[in-house]
């Protein structure tokens, strides 16, 4: 007990000189009078965990009886809640009290309510179902005239509030932004911030009000609004550049001490506010010289002002340094910031030193010489007794690793790895080592040994990519075939030695790697016969500690080796053993081995030696089974139906209780069918072919795609560059650099303590020289500019990855195209028209290539373009143009969508282009989008469909058109188109009956009341607005209620029920998509407010 | 933004917990147990910052109590340390030289102060005066016979 009573005063020397007795007496008094007190004391008196459990269970059952008794007063209830919170904190379940906590918040007087709200916020999380019961209470309290009640409600709202109920309180909170009390305004801003975090689209319409909060006369409210701004700027800094000046002014005022003293912390003016502003400035100034220039002064002043030797000034300094390094660089500031980092690094206080390392870590890539400056400190931290310091140092070293210092750095990392037990650290570090080893390995032996260490330590927690990449690297090799063989040979030898060691357990993943390598490459080792290897593998197979997954790898290795083996004793024994295994998977593999073993010829053909990278020709259409199928059909078997077809049939047969919306399920199954071939059908669409041919084309393309991924040709273009790297990597004057560094280090050390050259020091310097090799000022450029050209031994691997990635994107792209083709017949595709024409005196043949790139990831799209004869295009507003090319939107005569799109177009200021005449164009084909050969004097229309995968308010489709003039002068025209949700909304024409069915089947709904101006108040006019502007289909009108329906293309339905009371429009949306209603609601609000 | 805040004693008893990100009950218990173990094993002269899971943990010991905040990687550790300190100052001012017992027996008060200081994990009000004023306002509504009157009276606030 004695240390519990220990006063914190000791830890806060001189801060508060109040008498100690007061607090003690109060605590004692409180503990005597309250039931909680007796509970706490009861628990402290106990000695065992078991006794505690008994006591608490007793307490909980008595509490349960009390809270559920109808006679319990609210005051008692409040007291019970406190005890319940205490029990929960100790780790016991008090869920029976949750509902009573809500009741207390609802019914109690202020004090009881406060405890009720506290209990709710501690017991429940924001997805808890009981939380819905709190909504009414919150709404009531928000409308209360009592400030304390309003505060409580705002506090609870900012902590836990169900996302879907936000519309219910949003208008009330918005109102509070104009409240006369600053505390209410501040809390309201923070509550809105919280909404912005959990449901950004719902507070989109109040951005203007945030600006008002930023200009609030109260500092607290302004500071609160910065939370929102920081978040919004993080997402999209370009939209807020205009505020840079305001932020700078605020920071200037804060730094200049213009704020009330209240906001100072240990005589530093508003440090939290300063840090928030510095972060915002850092984001705004990133890669933007003009904006950065606005803030140089104030940053300079911040660096200068922060001289007070207190933690909080260091906190500001740290943020300031971060900002200086993230914005557009200014050498003076960088110099000062570098000095600050020095202050941190050299500080005797461990917390500051740590931050110094952290700062170095992110600065190092911009300025490697800083690491050189602090090399001795870094070395010291590497052996720091606090593992956290070591870890941060390793993080720093990881960033400066190059081909020359890799061995030392990886050795240090491995040392740390062997000491740590925490899984997170191991996973992280193992990944880094593997990455560095692949990039910079000096030789084969080192690489294999390092990877061995990675596999044995990282074992089964490491990322599965590591062993996979390693195996792929071995199999695919790099450029030099003999070098490849050497590496493989070394790996095999190393594993054979490891397996000879008795009583060592290797992680399963490591064993899997070994078994694959041995199965594939042990033939490279002359002195080891396949039989001996098989014996070793067999021994492992009989080991009980090995998982069945690994055993499958082992048996696969044995299978590969069997055709090469001279005697088959062991294999036969193995077959005997495992064909009766209880593990079905093992049994299957054993049987496969058995049957292959019986036919040695076939086995040799199926399992050729060292051919893991050869292409396998697979007959994807399974044509060799045609005979079998025909026979089956002849004998009366039912023809095969693909999955989606079966599902469709099943659906249409089911007459009762179909809960799925019809439109949705059909199109979804239709999709899977068409998407699966994953090929391009864009060509087919342009040429007007049917979907069937599209599918056929798709098949042939698909094979091509696969070849690209795995075939040898795919990697070819990368080869020369890799060879170049290899050549470059060799001549490194390593020793000279080391010497140079030693000299540097020595001279540095000499100045302060010339005589202290102990042996230890020398060791450190040696280490320093080996660590910081290649970081000298001359090689700085090297690290920065050509970082990648520095000897990447195993360079190919990363490229393989790249290729695969690009392959993947292509294939997804293709999928879109195919889905597009399926839609193109329907009337609702989104069309953009690209008009391309060239002008002036260019004659002859022109090459024209069009490359559309979709930058917005939210858009699952391809681009539509239409080319039209230039002379008629004059009337249409052009979208983008340069001297030769013009892109414009469709003609005003095109139906509904055009109206909106043209307005977008006009906002992009365009200059009309002259069209002299046009020539023949030849079009180079691009996988994504290409123009067919054009006839002279003509224009072509190109269409792409843009599909919305997930609802959003606004997005951009951007891309560029590449074309080449006859005189081979090529040009590029970039363009971007803003698309909004409305562009993807179409009326959904359904009957009232269908509406009812759909309505009941949708789970996601959103309700909102909108106030209307008088002119709109009548139902018909409101309807008209919605019908025209949002393209909603009016299903039915019954009295003062209306039913409307729309769909998000391709077929996500959204239903709207609305009712008019006086000047309030009650909207109720339902949809099968969880986010769509929010977005449509937002559009509705905009439309209704706007008109 | 802060993920959670924990107060626990040197004996590993949880005194206060505030979660700013929805976390399941089971996960909470596991995290609390694990983190307590890690923090309690730290030696006195060590760094106040920890990398733990994918989070940064900032902790400080005041007498027998550990104050422990989990923040995200890019957040400023030092200012979080000061945030803890400001919270302790607030508790101290409110309780009149606070001790662990005050927090055990009046933990709901400690929560109220925290809520007034941080809202949803972000600093709401850093002015000591106005935080305490807000708490007092609510406290003053308390009936006369409620217990920790004396503290307020001593502070001249009642």
All residues of chain A having their beta carbon less than 8 Å from the beta carbon of residue B95 are 23, 26-27
All residues of chain B having their beta carbon less than 8 Å from the beta carbon of residue A14 are none
**What's the whole-number mean pLDDT along residues A61-80?**
86
Of A18, A36, A220, the CB nearest to B97: A18
3-state DSSP assignment of residue A513: helix
Which whole-number Å values give the CA distances from A799 to A323, A469, A858, A936, in the listed order?
Answer: 34, 12, 26, 42
User: Would you say residue B18 lies in a domain?
Assistant: yes
Assess B27–A contact: CB distance below 8 Å, yes or no: no
Q: Where residue A606 falls among pLDDT bands split at 50, 70, 90? A: confident
All residues of chain A having their beta carbon less than 8 Å from the beta carbon of residue B105 are 27, 30-31, 34, 36-37, 40
**Ranges A153-157, A380-384, A759-763, A800-804, most confident:** A153-157
How many CB atoms neighbour CB A431 within 10 A? 16
- Residue A946 has what pLDDT? 66
- Per the document, the length of chain B is 158
Residue in this structure with the two tokens 């690009």, named with its chain if needed: A806
- In three-state form (DSSP H/G/I as H, E/B as E, the rest C), the secondary structure along B17-68 is EEECCCCCHHHHHHHHHHHHHHHHCCCCCCCCEEEECCEEEEEEEECCEEEE
**What's the whole-number mean pLDDT along residues A253-279?**
89
Instruction: Tell me how many residue pairs between chain A and chain B have CB atoms under 8 A apart.
Output: 238
Contact status, residue A331 vs residue A349, Cβ threshold 8 Å? no
H/E stretch holding A178 reads none
Among A575-579, A595-599, A927-931, name the one with the lowest average pLDDT: A927-931
- Residue B33 has what pLDDT? 92
All residues of chain B having their beta carbon less than 8 Å from the beta carbon of residue A271 are 79, 82, 126
How many CB atoms neighbour CB A157 within 10 A? 28
CB contact under 8 A, A89 and B16: yes
CA distance A479 to A719: 7
CA distance A461 to A58: 43
Which whole-number Å values give the CA distances from A849 to A686, A852, A969, in the listed order?
Answer: 16, 10, 13
Of B14, B17, B126, the CB nearest to A270: B126
All residues of chain B having their beta carbon less than 8 Å from the beta carbon of residue A148 are 137-138, 141
**Ranges A67-81, A273-287, A563-577, A716-730, most confident:** A273-287
Residues 81-100 of B with CB under 8 A from A: 81-83, 86, 88-89, 92-93, 95-100
- Residue A655 has what pLDDT? 52
Q: Where residue A279 falls among pLDDT bands split at 50, 70, 90? A: very high
**What's the whole-number mean pLDDT along residues A1021-1027?**
77
Contact status, residue A475 vs residue A487, Cβ threshold 8 Å? no
- Residue A886 has what pLDDT? 54
Residue A317 sits at the vertex; the CA angle it makes with A312 and A323, to the nearest 5 degrees, is: 135
Mean pLDDT (chain A) is: 71
**Tens digit of each residue's pLDDT (9 = 90 or more) over A85-120:** 999 888 888 888 899 999 998 888 888 888 999 999
CB contact under 8 A, A224 and B124: yes
Contact status, residue A17 vs residue B107, Cβ threshold 8 Å? no
**Tens digit of each residue's pLDDT (9 = 90 or more) over A652-702:** 665 555 555 554 434 333 333 333 333 333 333 333 333 333 333 333 333
Closest CA in chain B for residue A227 = B122
Q: Where residue A727 falls among pLDDT bands split at 50, 70, 90? A: very low
Q: Partners of A1043 in the beta sheet?
A: A1036, A1057
pLDDT of A263 strictly over 50: yes
A194 or A784, higher pLDDT: A194
- Residue B66 has what pLDDT? 94
- Residue A790 has what pLDDT? 41
Contact status, residue A471 vs residue A613, Cβ threshold 8 Å? no
pLDDT of A880 strictly over 60: no
Contact status, residue A284 vs residue A244, Cβ threshold 8 Å? yes
- Per the document, the length of chain A is 1091
CA distance A981 to A979: 7
CA distance A1078 to A202: 7
- Residue A661 has what pLDDT? 54
Closest CA in chain A for residue B79 = A315
Closest CA in chain A for residue B13 = A90
Q: What tokens appear for A953 in the block?
A: 């308010």
Side-chain half-sphere exposure of A752, counting CA atoms within 13 A: 3
Q: Which of A23, A78, A109, A110 to mutate to test the interface with B (most CBs of B within 10 A)?
A: A23
Assess B37–A contact: CB distance below 8 Å, yes or no: no
- Residue A699 has what pLDDT? 36
Could you tell me the residue range of the domain that residue B21 belongs to? 1-153
Contact status, residue A210 vs residue A229, Cβ threshold 8 Å? yes
Which whole-number Å values give the CA distances from B120 to A197, A619, A1041, B8, B112, in the listed order?
Answer: 11, 59, 40, 21, 13
Contact status, residue A510 vs residue A459, Cβ threshold 8 Å? yes
CA distance A365 to A325: 11
Closest CA in chain B for residue A350 = B47
Closest CA in chain A for residue B103 = A27
H/E stretch holding A70 reads none
**What's the whole-number mean pLDDT along residues A944-966?**
68
pLDDT of A613 strictly over 80: no
3-state DSSP assignment of residue A952: coil
**What's the whole-number mean pLDDT along residues A698-711?**
35
Q: Where residue A842 falls among pLDDT bands split at 50, 70, 90? A: very low
Global pTM exceeds 0.80? no
Q: Where are the beta strands (DSSP E) in A821-932?
A: 846-851, 859-861, 878-881, 886-888, 921-924
How many CB atoms neighbour CB A321 within 10 A? 29
CB contact under 8 A, A355 and B78: yes
Q: Where residue A438 falls among pLDDT bands split at 50, 70, 90? A: confident
As for the ipTM of the complex, it is 0.88
CA distance B120 to B124: 9
Contact status, residue A1072 vs residue A668, Cβ threshold 8 Å? no
Q: What tokens appear for A349 in the block?
A: 């206080």
Question: Is the peptide bond prior to A702 cis by the omega test (within 30 degrees of 0)?
Answer: no
H/E stretch holding A1068 reads strand A1064-1071
Of A23, A159, A355, the CB nearest to B97: A23
CB contact under 8 A, A388 and B98: no
A448 or A1063, higher pLDDT: A448
User: Nearest-CA distance from A398 to chain B in Å?
Assistant: 17
Residue B116: CATH number of its domain? 3.30.450.60
Among A606-610, A995-999, B83-87, B112-116, name the one with the lowest average pLDDT: A606-610
**Tens digit of each residue's pLDDT (9 = 90 or more) over A535-562:** 888 888 888 888 888 888 988 888 888 8
Torsion angle, alpha carbons of B97, B101, B102, B108, to 10: 150
- The number of folded domains in chain B is 1
User: Would you say residue B134 lies in a domain?
Assistant: yes
CA distance A681 to A694: 5
Q: Kindly provide the b/e burial profile for residues A604-632, where b requires at least 16 CB atoms within 10 angstroms of the residue's own CB.
A: eeebeeeebeeeeeeeeeeeeeeeeeeee
- Residue A690 has what pLDDT? 38
- Residue A746 has what pLDDT? 41
Q: Where residue B5 falls among pLDDT bands split at 50, 70, 90? A: very high
- Residue A117 has what pLDDT? 92
Residue A436 sits at the vertex; the CA angle it makes with A432 and A438, to the nearest 5 degrees, is: 120
A526 or A382, higher pLDDT: A382
Percent residues over pLDDT 90 in chain A: 9
φ and ψ of A831, to 5 deg: -110, 135
User: Would you say residue B158 lies in a domain?
Assistant: no
- Residue A639 has what pLDDT? 81
Do the bridges between strand B14-19 and strand A859-861 make them parallel or antiparallel, or are there none, so unpaired? unpaired
CB contact under 8 A, B63 and A272: no
CA distance B79 to B118: 14
All residues of chain A having their beta carbon less than 8 Å from the beta carbon of residue B82 are 265, 271, 311-312, 315
pLDDT of A588 strictly over 60: yes
Do the bridges between strand A921-924 and strand A846-851 make them parallel or antiparallel, or are there none, so unpaired? parallel
pLDDT of A587 strictly over 50: yes
Q: What tokens appear for A865 in the block?
A: 């373009």
Residue in this structure with the two tokens 């809960």, named with its chain if needed: A659
């Amino acid at each position: 007990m004695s240390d519990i009573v220990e006063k914190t005063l000791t830890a806060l020397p001189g801060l508060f000189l109040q008498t100690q007795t007061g607090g003690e007496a109060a605590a004692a008094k409180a503990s005597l009078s309250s039931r909680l007190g007796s509970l706490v004391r009861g628990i402290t008196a106990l000695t065992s965990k078991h006794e505690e459990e008994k006591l608490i269970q007793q307490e909980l059952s008595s509490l349960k009886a009390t809270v559920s008794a109808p006679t319990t007063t609210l005051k008692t209830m409040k007291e019970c809640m406190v005890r319940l919170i205490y029990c929960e904190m100790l780790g016991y379940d008090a869920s029976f009290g949750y509902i009573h906590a809500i009741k207390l918040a609802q019914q109690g007087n202020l004090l009881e309510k406060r405890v009720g709200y506290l209990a709710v916020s501690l017991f429940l999380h924001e997805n808890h179902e009981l939380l819905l019961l709190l909504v009414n209470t919150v709404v009531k309290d928000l409308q209360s005239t009592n400030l304390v009640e309003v505060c409580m409600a705002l506090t609870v709202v900012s902590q836990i509030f169900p996302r879907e109920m936000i519309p219910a309180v949003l208008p009330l909170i918005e109102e509070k932004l104009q409240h006369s009390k600053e505390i209410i305004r501040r809390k309201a801003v923070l509550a809105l911030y919280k909404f912005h975090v959990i449901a950004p689209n719902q507070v989109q319409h109040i951005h203007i009000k945030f600006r008002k909060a930023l200009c609030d006369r109260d500092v607290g409210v302004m500071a609160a609004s910065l939370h929102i701004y920081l978040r919004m700027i993080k997402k999209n800094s370009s939209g807020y550049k205009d505020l840079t000046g305001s932020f700078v002014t605020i920071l200037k005022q804060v730094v200049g001490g213009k704020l009330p003293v209240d906001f100072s912390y240990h005589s530093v003016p508003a440090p939290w506010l300063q840090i928030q502003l510095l972060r915002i400035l850092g984001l705004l100034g990133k890669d933007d010289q003009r904006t950065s220039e606005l803030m140089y002064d104030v940053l300079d002043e911040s660096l200068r002002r922060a001289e007070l030797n207190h933690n909080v000034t260091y906190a500001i300094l740290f943020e300031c340094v971060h900002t200086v390094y993230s914005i557009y660089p200014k050498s003076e500031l960088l110099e000062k910031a570098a000095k600050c980092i020095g202050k941190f690094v050299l500080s005797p206080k461990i917390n500051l030193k740590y931050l110094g390392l952290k700062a170095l870590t992110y600065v190092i890539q911009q300025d490697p010489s800083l690491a050189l400056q602090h090399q001795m400190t870094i070395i010291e931290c590497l052996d720091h007794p606090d593992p956290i310091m070591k870890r941060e140092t390793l993080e720093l070293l990881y960033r400066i690793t190059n081909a020359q210092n890799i061995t030392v750095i990886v050795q240090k990392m491995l040392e740390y790895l062997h000491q740590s037990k925490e899984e997170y650290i191991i996973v992280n570090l193992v990944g880094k080592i593997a990455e560095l080893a692949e990039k910079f390995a000096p030789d084969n032996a080192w690489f294999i040994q390092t990877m061995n260490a990675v596999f044995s330590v990282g074992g089964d927690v490491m990322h599965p990519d590591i062993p996979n990449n390693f195996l792929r690297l071995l199999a695919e090799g790099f450029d030099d075939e003999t070098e490849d063989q050497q590496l493989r040979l070394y790996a095999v030898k190393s594993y054979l030695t490891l397996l000879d060691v008795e009583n060592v357990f290797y992680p399963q993943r490591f064993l899997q790697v070994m078994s694959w390598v041995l199965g594939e490459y042990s033939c490279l080792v002359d002195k080891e016969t396949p039989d001996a290897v098989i014996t070793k593998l067999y021994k492992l197979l009989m080991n009980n500690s090995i998982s069945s997954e690994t055993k499958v790898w082992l048996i696969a290795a044995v299978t590969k080796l069997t055709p090469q083996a001279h005697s088959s004793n062991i294999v036969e024994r193995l077959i005997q053993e495992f064909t009766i295994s209880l593990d079905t998977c093992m049994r299957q593999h054993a049987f496969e081995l058995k049957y292959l073993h019986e036919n040695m010829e076939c086995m040799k053909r199926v399992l050729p030696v060292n051919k893991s990278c050869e292409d396998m020709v697979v007959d994807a259409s399974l044509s060799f089974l045609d005979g079998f199928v025909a026979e089956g059909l002849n004998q009366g078997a039912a023809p095969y139906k693909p999955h989606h077809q079966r599902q469709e049939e099943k659906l249409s047969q089911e007459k009762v209780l179909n809960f799925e919306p019809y439109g949705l399920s059909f199109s979804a199954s239709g999709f899977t069918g068409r998407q699966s071939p994953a090929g391009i059908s864009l060509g087919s669409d342009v040429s007007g072919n049917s979907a069937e041919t599209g599918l056929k084309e798709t098949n042939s393309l698909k094979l091509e795609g696969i070849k690209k991924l795995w075939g040898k040709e795919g990697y070819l273009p990368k080869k020369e560059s890799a060879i170049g790297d290899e050549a470059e990597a060799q001549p490194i004057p390593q020793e000279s650099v080391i010497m140079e560094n030693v000299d540097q280090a020595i001279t540095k050390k000499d100045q302060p303590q010339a005589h202290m050259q102990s042996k230890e020091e020398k060791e450190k310097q040696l280490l320093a020289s080996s660590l910081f090799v290649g970081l000298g000022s001359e090689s700085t450029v090297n690290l920065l500019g050509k970082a990648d050209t520095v000897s990447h031994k195993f360079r190919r691997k990363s490229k393989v990855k790249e290729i695969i990635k690009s392959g993947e994107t292509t294939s997804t792209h293709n999928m879109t195209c195919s889905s597009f083709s399926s839609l193109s017949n329907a009337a609702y595709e989104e069309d953009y028209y690209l008009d391309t024409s060239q002008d002036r005196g260019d004659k002859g043949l022109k090459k024209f290539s069009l490359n559309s790139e979709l930058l917005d990831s939210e858009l699952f799209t391809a681009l539509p373009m239409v080319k039209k004869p230039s002379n008629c295009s004059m009337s249409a507003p052009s979208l983008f143009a340069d001297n030769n090319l013009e892109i414009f939107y469709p003609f005003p005569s095109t139906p509904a969508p055009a109206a909106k799109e043209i307005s977008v177009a006009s906002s992009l200021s365009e200059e009309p282009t002259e069209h002299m005449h046009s020539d023949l164009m030849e079009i180079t084909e691009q996988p994504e989008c290409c123009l067919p050969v054009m006839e002279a004097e003509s224009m072509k229309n190109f269409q792409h469909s843009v599909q919305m995968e997930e609802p959003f308010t606004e997005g951009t489709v951007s891309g560029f058109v590449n074309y080449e003039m006859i005189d081979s002068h090529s040009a590029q025209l970039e363009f971007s188109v803003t698309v909004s949700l409305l562009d993807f909304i179409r009326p959904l024409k359904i009957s009232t009956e269908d509406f009812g069915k759909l309505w009941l089947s949708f789970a996601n709904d959103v309700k909102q009341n909108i106030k209307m101006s008088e002119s709109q108040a009548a139902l018909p006019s409101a309807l008209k607005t919605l019908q025209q502007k949002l393209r909603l289909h009016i299903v039915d009108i019954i009295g003062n209620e209306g039913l409307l329906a729309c769909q998000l293309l391709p077929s996500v339905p959204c239903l709207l029920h609305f009712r008019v009371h006086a000047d309030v429009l009650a909207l109720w949306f339902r949809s099968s998509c969880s986010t769509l209603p929010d977005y449509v609601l937002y559009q509705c609000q905009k439309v209704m407010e706007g008109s | 933004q802060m993920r959670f805040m924990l107060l626990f004693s040197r004996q590993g008893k949880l005194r206060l917990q505030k979660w700013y990100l929805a976390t399941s009950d089971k996960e909470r218990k596991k995290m609390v147990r694990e983190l307590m173990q890690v923090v309690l094993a730290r030696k006195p002269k060590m760094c106040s910052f920890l990398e733990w899971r994918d989070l940064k943990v900032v902790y400080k010991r005041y007498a027998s109590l550990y104050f422990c905040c989990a923040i995200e990687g890019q957040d400023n550790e030092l200012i979080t340390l000061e945030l803890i300190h400001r919270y302790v100052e607030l508790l101290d001012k409110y309780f009149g030289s606070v001790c662990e017992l005050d927090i055990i027996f009046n933990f709901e008060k400690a929560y109220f102060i925290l809520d007034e200081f941080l809202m949803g994990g972000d600093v709401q009000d850093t002015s000591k005066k106005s935080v305490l004023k807000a708490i007092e306002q609510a406290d003053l509504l308390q009936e006369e016979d409620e217990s920790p009157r004396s503290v307020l009276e001593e502070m001249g606030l009642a």
